[in-house]
Amino acid sequence: SAQSRLTDLSADELAAFRAEQQTAYDTLAGSGLKLDLTRGKPSAAQLDLSNGLLDLPKGVHDASGTDTRNYGGLQGISELRQIFAELLWVEPAQLVAGGNSSLTMMKDTLVDLMLFGGVDSPGPWSAQEKVRFICPVPGYDRHHTLLDSLGIEMLAVPMNDDGPDVDAVAALVKDDPTVNGMWIVPTYANPAGAVCSQEVAAALVAMPTAAPDFKILWDNAYALHHLTADEVKSADILSLASAAGHPHRPILFASTSKITFAGAGVAFLAASTEQVAWYLKHLGEGAIGPDKVNQLRHAQFFGDADGVRAHMARHREIIAPKFAEVQRILTDRLGGTGVATWTDPKGGYFVSLDVVPGTAARVVQLAKDAGIALTPAGASFPYGVDPQDTNIRLAPTFPALPEVTAAMEAVATCVLLAAAEKLSS
Ligand code: PMP
């Protein structure tokens, strides 16, 4: 890019640059924009890909002859579990197909661990003086909200390009039995798009932990959500954990929220056989069975695992151009200025943008005042506090392409203005 580094400018040049950005911003703010890059939602065009579901199921009986309209079948219907077991590299017997939200399954799991303890716990977590959880940052805001709501204390570790920082995690879990677990979004992580390598996954399931029942909540929400032809395969966490002698350490979650309908998909949980039985036992104390009609129509809609893969390719056709547009504008407007770095994810739903430390909140405020909603600064960090005030999560899937363009041009202007303000202060 032709831009020069802002830090190389003389005081006069910087003042001129700042005035230029202020003018650009004032024009922007006066143009009546109303754009939203906040949440990772599928667009209507993506939802339309799954409209075939609205005419299904054909018939009401599953492959075993069960009437899906009736109660029962807590673990979910087997033909759908077979399809997703193949895609998630687990055994069908170790997979639960549930309701429409994997986040609810995560909440149930944590609540059960708190109230009852797990298959390898000495007692309920809530009987401990303290319960703590490791959160790779930046991470998924709702993971943090959930922990906070249960009084679980959060410990941040860096999320690297190949997964959580193993040394930082190992140091926290080694001697402290109140560190009971950790989150990982292993594939195309929210928000930076990192993919947890086989080596990192293997180290995390093998590391010694003071807590005998340490849990890795392996939230594979974007397992199949590739943006390029290079379709990364998630580490096979259940097999790795068994091989390392800690079969009950990981609990895997996934869903079709960003495959079919975000509000009416099917969620999945996978774990060791004993741990699946533990989950189903507690689930059965408050449920008789999932929405098997929805599960049946999903199984019929996809047919098999390749049907899911082909469907994901159609999502990619819709959203890859939006991600490319984000890269194009960031590179054009901010490349070479030295005031921002950003990720170029190969999948998932987000781009993570780092601006001049101490300006992320200012950028979000400037954008808001100009009519562009961005995820609040700090949202990807425990307690909503980014200690560096540097990170902004961008979610380009929901708006139409021209709106992505307009919103990103505006974001670039806000980043430059905030940087100029900061550097001249
Ligand atoms: N996990 C991650 C990492 C997510 O980004 C999201 C959606 N934003 C979810 C879980 C929510 O999953 P579900 O719709 O299955 O509850």
Compute the average pLDDT of residues 280-289. Answer: 98
Q: Is the peptide bond before 402 cis (omega within 30 degrees of 0)?
A: no
**Exposed e or buried b for every residue in 272-289, given b needs 16+ CB within 10 A?**
beebbebbbebbeeeeeb
pLDDT of residue 314: 98
For residue 249, the model assigns a pLDDT of 98
CB of 380 shorter than 6 A to ligand 1:
no
For position 3, what pLDDT does the model report?
72
Q: Phi-psi bin for 38: left (phi > 0), alpha (psi -120 to 50), beta?
A: alpha
Contact (CB, 8 A) for 106 and 214: no
When computed from its CA atoms, the radius of gyration of the chain, rounded to whole angstroms, is 23
Nearest CA-CA partner of 265 in 200, 231, 315, 230 = 315
d(CA 302, CA 260): 10
Average pLDDT, stretch 73-84?
Answer: 98
Q: Is the CB of 147 under 6 A from ligand 1?
A: no
What type of residue is 15? A
Which residue minimizes the CA distance to atom 11 of ligand 1?
103
Q: How far is CA 40 from CA 75, 141, 221, 375, in A?
A: 28, 12, 12, 10
Rounded to 10 degrees, the C-alpha dihedral 419/420/423/425 comes to -120
Q: What DSSP assignment string belongs to 368-425?
A: HHTTEE-PPTTTTSGGG--TTS-EEEE--SSS-HHHHHHHHHHHHHHHHHHHHHHHT-
- ipTM of the predicted assembly exceeds 0.90: yes
State if residue 138 touches ligand 1 by the CB under 6 angstroms criterion: no
Indicate whether residue 185 lines ligand 1 (CB < 6 A).
Answer: yes
Query: Does 219 sit in the ligand 1 pocket, CB within 6 Å?
Result: yes
Cβ of residue 121 lying under 6 Å from some atom of ligand 1: no
Residue 217: CB within 6 Å of ligand 1? no
Confidence of residue 425 (pLDDT cuts 50, 70, 90): confident
pLDDT digits (tens, 9 = 90+) for 49-58: 999 999 999 9
Q: What is the pLDDT of residues 369-422, one digit of tens each?
A: 999 999 999 999 999 999 999 999 999 999 999 999 999 999 999 999 999 999
* C-beta 354 within 6 A of ligand 1: no
Domains of the chain, start order: 6-46+309-423 (3.90.1150.10), 56-303 (3.40.640.10)
Residue 52 has a pLDDT of 98
pLDDT of residue 384: 96
Q: Is the distance from CB of 362 to CB of 333 less than 8 angstroms? A: no
CA of 18 to the centre of ligand 1 (A): 39
- Read off the pLDDT of each residue in 175-181 and give the average, rounded to a whole number: 98
Cα–ligand 1 centroid distance for 185 (angstroms)? 10
Say whether pLDDT at 41 is over 70: yes
Residue 14 Cα, ligand 1 centroid: separation in angstroms? Answer: 42
Q: What is the mean pLDDT of the chain?
A: 97
0.95 exceeded by pTM: yes
DSSP 192-244: T-----HHHHHHHHHS--SSTT-EEEEE-TTTT-BSSS--PPPP-HHHHHHHT
Residue 245 β-bridge partners: none
Residue 1 banded pLDDT, cuts 50, 70, 90:
very low
Q: How far is the CA of 59 from the centre of ligand 1 (A)?
A: 30
Instruction: Tell how far CA 268 is from the center of its chain.
Output: 15
The answer to whether residue 2 scores a pLDDT higher than 60 is no
In angstroms, rounded to a whole number, what is the distance separating the alpha carbons of residues 388 and 378? Answer: 9
How far is the centre of ligand 1, averaged over its atoms, from the C-alpha of 75 (Å)?
20
Q: Is 103 helix (H, G, I), strand (E, B) or coil?
A: helix
Question: Quick check: 362 pLDDT over 90?
Answer: yes
Strand partners, 392: 353
